[in-house]
Amino acid sequence: MCVVSGVCPIAAEVEAREAQARRERAIREREEEERRREKRYGTALDELRTFGLVRDYGRVPGPSLSKLERILAILREEDET
């Protein structure tokens, strides 16, 4: 049963639900991509620590963690482009 204005409440509800499902799916996809990216960069950090290229809380000589964070930020920017 459609309203006089020509908008069917059932169709409007279906459209709203579909739009909500699309938004939720997009959020999940972004979160999954962020988890994959963090895992990839975490693995890279572990490898750098293994080879002594990064100081691991003062135990391994190498560049400071802040320098590594800048490097990872650059890698993230390149990864997004």
For the stretch 22-53, pLDDT in tens is 999 999 998 888 888 777 777 777 777 666 66
Q: Helix, strand, or coil here: 6?
A: coil
How much is the pTM?
A: 0.47
Q: What is the pLDDT of residues 6-22, one digit of tens each?
A: 778 888 889 999 999 99
Provide the sign of the torsion angle of the four alpha carbons 42, 44, 47, 51, taken in this order.
negative
Token reading at 7: 């908008």
pLDDT at position 59 over 60: no
> Is pLDDT of 69 > 90?
no
The tokens 């482009």 sit on which residue?
81
Mean pLDDT along residues 48-72 = 62
| 77: pLDDT strictly greater than 70 | yes
Does 58 score more than 50 pLDDT? Answer: no
